Every structure is written in structure tokens, then in C-alpha cells.
Amino acid sequence: MSHLPRLLRVTRIVARYRLDDFWSDQPGVVWFRLLLLPFRLPRFLSDQAQEDKNVRLRKALEELGPIYIKFGQLLSTRRDFFDSALADELQSLQDNVPPFTSPAIEHIIEVSLGMKCERLFKHLDSEPFASASVAQVHKAILFNDEEVVVKVIRPGIEKTVAEDIKLLKWAAGLVESRSEIGRRLRPIEVVNDYEKVIFDELNLQAEAANTSQLRRNFENSEVLYVPKIYWGYTRRNVMVMERIHGVPVTDIDSLLQLNVDLKKLAETGVNIFFTQVFEHNFFHADMHPGNIFVSRENPGSPKYIAIDCAIIGSLTDDDQEYLAKNLLAIFKRDYRRVAELHIASGWVPKTTKISEFESAIRSVCEPIFEKPLKEISFGQLLVQLFRTAGRFDMEVQPSLVLLQKTLLNIEGLGRQLYPELDLWKTALPYLENWNSKRLNPFTLIAKIQENIPNWIEQLPHLPLLLIEAATQSSQLSEINQVLLKQQQAAERKLLRQRRLARNSGIFALMIAGLSLLPPVNSGLADVPLVTLGLGLLGVYLLCFKR
């Protein structure tokens, strides 16, 4: 019951801000309000309980902590699900969460870096210029006049996250064990994966490493810039990074004033995403608008700037290949191929009828083609696909949840930048080019060349590996022989028992039958009855036993 204190706190906050107003027209809301009734007492109610409900939701998420704030950040990009007023209110969660004031930023830096701030920075702003779910950022200048930002983790945030993870695990176990849809959602695995992601986000050294890797992946790129990390100033709870001077990607008015080509900007964003997923297998998985900026240089060929690389995703080789093939087949409307790939990858049971699954996929996907992005909702498409796939016992793939969340962010961003974007024409050439490169003989030869050094290193160990394999095979053969003999002996014993039971029954029937015979007047009259019965049984056993 370690989750109980946090559950009570969450319930109290929900009641204080009257968040049940969002479900006022839903069935069962009466029971939900009865549950909240003990927390409706005046001393528990918030002074802001009478404010606009969108404001109340934003404040409640801020008070609940980082996991709920991140949920609000995702909702702020989904204007196809929620009205604009709610999305606008939640948008402030991206970089305008109330900052912490104690302890002072100078104290945290001095304790972490072991040196007075006056010796580290020429100037350091005490007030943050941006504050998000798990950290806040301060402007600073180094002694060589380089402009940097200092990112600091919120004190005590680990405890809050740990309590929320316990609560999520309890809820996940409850949902998975009590419902069929819960089993298909596999919430326990999803929460376990998210636990690793969120605790990695609290380690700024891990974020710095991710940022450096992403910077190398797009070194000298004309479409994406990643700022430099100052490793000498970076610790687990403090990170110093190059300061960037871009335009927030959601500031459409400023982008238009700079004459930025929004159509090209949106198409470039799609290509960057696919490059990260399929070429680098290292993708920025927290791409809400607060983490993306646009360079002021060269507006005709705009360039993105990415920050906050705390959450990075990658796929296994199998998931990456199946995902690319699925997307390519969907874009070509080859639904038969999509069905075959789902079965081959194990995403649906092997017993699934391909023709039925193909028809179901076609019924969901066909209506979305040849439509601009403003008329397509991938969020709703994912929900509809999941409902349809329920007929075929398809489960959520936890390894792809982070990617799906990133796709929702990308789509929401694309809607804001250029609603007329034709996603199919933008993505299809990229996927076709990726597939051609993958099947190119020179690519295959290059992969073989990459593996040759590893194969050479394994050659000295090959005889020993062969001997071990042969020994294991021999041992396995011996075990199989022993098991076979035991099985044969058990079968013979069972057969003997069956024969004995059968013969005993026949013997008993013979004795009973003979006892019912009238007196014998022939030459057998002097033969004892038991002897006669045994003789007949012996004849049966000799003639009919099998």
C-alpha cells in the first residue's frame, strides 16, 4: 500500500480544482463525485476553484508534478482532440512552469561543481528565463564571453517521480488484471519502460551525452542544429550548454515576419524525424514545441534547432525493419503486405486469417489517403486501429510506445506549421529511398565488411565453440534417449496394466457366466467349475490376446 499516500494526494488535488467538471456529461460521473465528496469540505477547496476550468486543469497538473505536466504538454499539441482554449492554456506547461526559489541557483551550482559561481561564470542570472517539468534554465556568460545556459534539476523531484511511478504501477496492475483491453494495452510493461525513461531524464549527464550524440549525427547538417555541451561544467543535476537564439517553432507570426517558408519547414521536420528513426536509430522523443526552435538565418531554407535531449528513443533492428516496411506498404496501400508483416513480426497471432486482417486494415486506412494533414488525425487513427485490431487479439508493443508518442508530437507540430502538408508525398519518397539503399548490393557488401573484423576475432574461439556445441548436442541426444526410454517403459507399463484390467474383467465375466450354467450332464460334469473357467481363460489369452 505504499502508493496510498500519493493516491490520496492526487485525489485531493483533483477535488480541490474540481477537475470532475471535464467529465460532467460522462456516465458514472455521479459515483466519481461521491468519491471526491470527502475532499469537498471547505478547508480542502482551492481558492481558484471558481476559475475557468482550463486554468484549473493547468494549475492542477503543475501541482501534481512532472509526469502530469508531461501529459499536459502532449495534450497541448492535440488541437484535433481538444478545443483551442484548452490547448493554449496547456501550452504554457512547455516552458513556463512556476520555478523553484529555494535553494538558490548559486548554492546548487557551487555544491555540484565545487567552486564559487564567481569563478565559473562572468555573469549568471539568478532568475530563470525558462522553467519546465523537471528542470529550469538560467542565462550565463563564461569568462571567454561565450553565451551559455545553465540547466538545473528541481530539488526533490526524484521523490515525487518515484511516488508517481508506484501509483502508476498499482493502477497498471489493476487495469491489466481486470479487463481484456487492459491485457492488450500491456500497461505494466509500458509503465516499466517509462520508469527508465523518466529517471534517465533526471540525470543531466545522460541528457548531455544524448545531446552530444545527436549533435554528431547532424554535424554540418543544413536542416538541424544541436547546441554544444560544456562537459567541464556538467554534473548529474547541473548542465551547461551553448545558448541558442532561434524563434520558437509555435511563434508563427514571427516566422512569417522573417519570411520563413512554412511548407518547406514542415516537410523538413518530417524528413528529420525519419532520418533519426531509420538512419541513425536515435530519435529525439520529447519533441513538443517548447523544445524546438527555428534559426533566423536563411528563411527560404529554414533550419531547426533542437534542445532538451533528455528522452531519446531507439528501436531494435527487427522493429525498425518491420516498422519501415509497414509504413511503406501503408503508403502504397498494399494492405495485404501490411497484414503479412504484422503476422510475421508477431504483433498479431500466427493463427490470424490474413484476408480478414487485410480487410480490417483497409477499412481504417483507406479513408485517410489523399487528404491534407488538417483533415487527418493520427491520434484518432491510432485509436481506431487499436479498436479494430482488438478483433485479432493484437496487443500494444511497449517498445514502440515512445515512437508513437513522438509521432503524435510531430503531427501536432505539423498541424500548427502548415495544415496543408501532404504527409504521404513527403514521407513516401524518403521510405522508398531508404528501402532501395537497404537492398542495394553495395550496402550489403558494406555491412559484410563491417562485420569481417568481428568474425576474424572470433576465429581463434571457433574450435572451442564447435566442441562445446558438439558436447551440448551429444548431451542433449543422451538426455533425449533417456527420456525416450522412460517414455517407452511408461507406455509398456500402462499397456500391461490395461491388459491386466481387461483380462481380469473377462475372467470375472467368465466365472459369473459359468456359475449361471445349468448342471452339465456330459463328460465334463466331473470337472470342477473353477478348473473349467481357468481353462477357458487360458484359451482366450492364447487366441485373442493382443
Q: What is the pLDDT of residues 334-357, one digit of tens each?
A: 889 988 888 888 878 888 888 988
pLDDT number for residue 503: 60
Banded model confidence at residue 46, pLDDT cuts 50, 70, 90: low
HSE at residue 337, side-chain half, CA atoms within 13 A, is 13
What is the model's pLDDT at position 322?
82
The string over 59-77, giving b where at least 16 C-beta atoms fall within 10 Å of a residue's C-beta and e elsewhere, is bbbbbbbbbbbbebbbbbb
CB 262 within 8 A of CB 417: yes
If we measure between CA atoms, which residue out of 59, 80, 81 comes closest to residue 69?
59
Share of the chain above pLDDT 90, in %: 22
- Per-residue pLDDT, 109: 94
Question: Which residues lie below 8 Å from residue 23, measured CB to CB, with a gap of 6+?
Answer: 29, 32
Distance CA(357)–CA(364), nearest Å, equals 11
Residue 396 is predicted with a pLDDT of: 67
Tell me which of 158-167, 298-307, 310-319 is least confident: 310-319
Please indicate whether residue 55 or residue 476 has the higher confidence score (pLDDT). Answer: 55
Give yes or no for a contact between 247 and 294, defined as CB atoms under 8 angstroms apart: yes
Output 267 or 484, whichever has higher pLDDT.
267
Query: Would you put residue 427 in left (φ > 0), alpha (ψ -120 to 50) or beta?
Result: alpha
Using the Cα atoms of residue 17, residue 22, residue 24 and residue 27 in order, give the sign of their dihedral. negative
Distance CA 363, CA 357 (A): 10
Average pLDDT, whole number, for the chain? 79
In the chain, the N- to C-terminal Cα span, in Å, equals: 65
The whole-number average pLDDT for the span 460-485 is 69
Is residue 523 very low, low, confident or very high in pLDDT (cuts 50, 70, 90)?
A: very low
pLDDT tens string 367-400: 777 666 667 666 666 667 667 767 777 766 666 7
- Report whether 44 contacts 16 (CB < 8 A): yes
The CA-based angle 292-296-302, given to 5 degrees, is 70
The mean per-residue pLDDT over the stretch 262-289 comes to 88
Q: DSSP letter at 229?
A: B
Report the run of H or E that residue 141 belongs to, with start and end: strand 135-141
Distance CA 317, CA 323 (A): 10
- Please tell me the distance from the alpha carbon of residue 407 to that of residue 285, in angstroms, as a whole number: 9
Supply angle C-alpha 90, 92, 97, rounded to 5.
115
294 pLDDT exceeds 80?
yes
CB atoms within 10 A of CB 197: 16
The predicted pLDDT at position 528 comes to 52
pTM over 0.85: no
CA distance 366 to 381: 11
| CB-based contact 408:281 (threshold 8 Å) | no
Q: What angle do CA 22, 73, 11 make, to 5 degrees?
A: 45
Q: How confident is the model at residue 138 (pLDDT cuts 50, 70, 90)?
A: very high
Phi-psi region of 22 (alpha: psi -120 to 50; beta: other; left: phi over 0): alpha
118 phi, psi to nearest 5 deg: -65, -25
Instruction: Compute the distance between CA of residue 108 and CA of residue 102 in angstroms, rounded to an integer.
Output: 10
* Residue (of 274, 517, 268, 211) closest to 406 by Cα position: 274
What pLDDT does 41 receive? 63
**In the predicted model, is pLDDT for residue 522 greater than 60?**
no
Exposure on the CB side of residue 463, measured as CA atoms within 13 A: 1
What are the grid coordinates assigned to 523, written together? Answer: 463328460
Q: Does the annotation mark 88 as catalytic?
A: no
Specify the pLDDT at position 521. Answer: 47
The amino acid present at 434, given as its one-letter code, is W
pLDDT band at 544 (very low <50, low <70, confident <90, very high): very low
pLDDT confidence of residue 432: 82
What does the pLDDT read at residue 171?
87
pLDDT above 60: residue 515: no
Per annotation, catalytic residue among 286, 308, 334, 422 = 286
For the stretch 473-492, what's the b/e string if a residue is b when 16 or more beta carbons lie within 10 angstroms of its beta carbon? Answer: eeeeeeeeeeeeeeeeeeee
Out of 98-112, 231-245, 315-329, which region has the weakest mean confidence (pLDDT)?
Answer: 315-329
Top-ranked range on mean pLDDT: pick from 55-64, 238-247, 423-432? 238-247
